[in-house]
Chains A and B, each alone.
Chain A
Amino acid sequence: MATHQLNGQIGTDPNFAHVTHTGHSRKHVKASDDHPKMKLTAEEQEIYDGKKGDVLQKAIKTVVAYGALFGADKLVDLGGAPHHAVSWGSDGVEPLLKIYRQLADAGLKTYAPFTADPKPMDPVHLPVTKAEQAAVDKIYNRMDELEELNMKLGMRSKKDWSCACYLPEMGNTPSRGDYLAWSESSAINYVNSVLGARTNRNSMGIDMLCNILGKAPRFGLLTDEGRQAVWLIEVKTSKLPHPEMIGSAIGLKVMEDVPYITGMDRFIKGVDEQSSGYLKDLGAATASNGAVGLYHMEGVTPEAVDKGRALLNEGYQTYVIDDAELDRIYASYPNLWKDKHGTPQRVFLGCPHMSYGQMVEWGNRIVDAMEKAGKDKIGCPTYMFGSQYVKDAFQQKNPEIAKKLEGYGVSIPINCPMMWCSTPVEGAELVATNSNKTRVYTTARFFFDDVLTELIVTGKLPANVA
């Protein structure tokens, strides 16, 4: 029988941590506490009582019961536009599809057009063998159905599959203070931390129900108190740390608590095209090695700029990260390749999907290295993952680099590298990646940029890391 390469462990919890996964710790809660009921408005009560139909009634009953379990006091109206993590149509999500069908049959749509995570496969830009494709088609046998249901329920377009939907090229970019009910841990982390929007980490299913209602239960990261930090992270590295490493270290330490990070404003002066990719990757690593839904970075992220250390709760804990600590974390990453010292078969860059700036940076890096080595074909199949929007912008604004990359054999797929690696038929491949998230959820190995660049050019890992 085919099994996932990590024995089924794709998702939010590779460390098997005892957390709520909402991005809001509830360690302090006891059964004997007062668990007050949520207060509904007259309009919400009408829906709850079934006066707007039984499908909406089921939706609000589910959302209210869910919110009550996590201490919500009321429902809040949502702003911006939704984003959903469900992007794979398989028999495994049949119960969700059934619910989606009920919602669609009732003529319901989300409160605003939504985007969704990238699909698992891109047969054009990341093709597999015919036999593998046949197996993949069998696994994802409900993709068309999911897409059709999504379109009926309010998906923005059939082009809108990307985990980095908030980037300006794609434009599902919430404003500061917007209440959201997003799923996709990396996107949640980015819009909370870097944009100052407010969403909890939502499980698939609850996201759609909230977004159909246009309301979410107010608890955790939707509240001022839930956005207070309980960890002070003092970064004392000698240079700008790799975003994946610093994020990984923080996630492993704080799990789902909110960290306040200091020492990074020595290197990052604000949120711009260059830093947004860095902050995206740092956040994704905190959300995959832990379950962090929000981080504050002193002098950089909006709430930290405004409130500074007032964001730290009394009694906070402190974690110091220096060069040695990052070395320790890197050394702890397991090598899960079946052939532990084998030659990598693919290089995957960009998980979450690359920003425009990252695509330009990597494009230039590869072109420079190839020209320096005097080569015209890459040594290892290389893929730079991004949304269709970012890909289009990159190719239109950088035609020379894009043409050279294509000539070398570098591909720009629009699917999810993590899901591609987790699909059973792909499990045996030796994938090298620059993403901690892909590393955490699959058997791919993480390498630093200079190592990957050498691998891309020569087809081999440097002797000191192989």
Chain B
Amino acid sequence: MAKATFKGRPAVPGSVEGSAEVSHIGFNTCATYVDVLISGTDSGVCQDHDNKDLFGHDLADKIVCIPQTIGSSSAATLFMIILDKGIAPKAMLFANHIDSLAACGILMGDNWLGKRIVTVDLLGDDFLDAVKTGDKVKVHEDGTIEVG
């Protein structure tokens, strides 16, 4: 039985499960994937040294749980790049409302590359209080999230 269940809005719906990677501060997409952007590396390891929660963690195929994305407007293309390279998270779970940069990148990846990051937003602060890095997380098509 799940430790906790949350209901968000299925922004880009899908059913996936995996291991959680949790950031309690804004997810800086550009800083996280700065080496992918500048050096063209094929690594999903978080390079954002300001993010103590995720720095050095490989986010590929993980369930990334965040308040919201922040940072450069290059974020939209970065989502497409990491999807193209096969180093994207399996799901992005937002406590807050999704922002336009993440929305644009994830939707363009979905519609133009045929590669999906399952995305749920509006999960609330309680969600981030409950989920811990390493937790097993199950994402349902309707935006329901099972933690643990």
Chain A residues in the interface with B (C-beta under 8 A): 1-4, 7-13, 16-22, 26-27, 29-32, 35, 58, 61-62, 65-66, 69-70, 85, 91-96, 98-99, 102, 201-206, 424
Contact = CB atoms under 8 A, between A and B. Distances in A.
B77 to A, nearest CB: 5
A31 B103 contact: no
Nearest to A17: B70
B26 A66 contact: no
19 contacts: A9-B31, A11-B73, A12-B72, A13-B101, A21-B101, A31-B121, A65-B107, A65-B110, A66-B104, A66-B107, A92-B81, A94-B81, A95-B84, A95-B108, A95-B113, A203-B101, A204-B104, A205-B104, A424-B38
Contacts of A98: 112
Interface string B55-71: 00000000000011011
Contact of B72 (A11, A18, A20, A66): A11
Contacts of A66: 100, 103-104, 107
Contacts of B105: 203, 205
Contacts of B81: 92, 94-95
A414 to B, nearest CB: 22
B117 interface: no
Contacts of A65: 12, 107, 110-111
B143 interface: yes
Interface in B99-126: 99-101, 103-105, 107-113, 121-124
Interface in B80-106: 80-81, 84, 96-101, 103-105
Interface in B32-73: 34-35, 37-40, 67-68, 70-73
Contacts of B76: 203-206
Given A8-B34, A9-B31, A203-B73, A58 B111 contact: yes
B114 to A, nearest CB: 10
A21 B100 contact: yes
Nearest to B35: A1
Given A18-B68, A62-B111, A204-B76, A8 B104 contact: no
Interface of B: 7-9, 11-12, 26, 28, 30-31, 34-35, 37-40, 67-68, 70-78, 80-81, 84, 96-101, 103-105, 107-113, 121-124, 143
Contacts of A203: 73, 76, 100-101, 103-105
The residue among A17, A91, A92, A95 with the most chain B CB atoms within 10 A of its own CB is A95
A20 B70 contact: no
B38 A20 contact: no
Contacts of B113: 95
B75 A11 contact: yes
A31 B72 contact: no
B119 to A, nearest CB: 9
Q: Top 7 A-B pairs ranked by shortest CB distance?
A: A11-B73, A11-B72, A95-B80, A203-B104, A31-B122, A16-B70, A62-B111
Given A11-B30, A31-B7, A205-B76, A2 B100 contact: no
Nearest to B112: A99
Contact of A2 (B38, B99, B122): B38
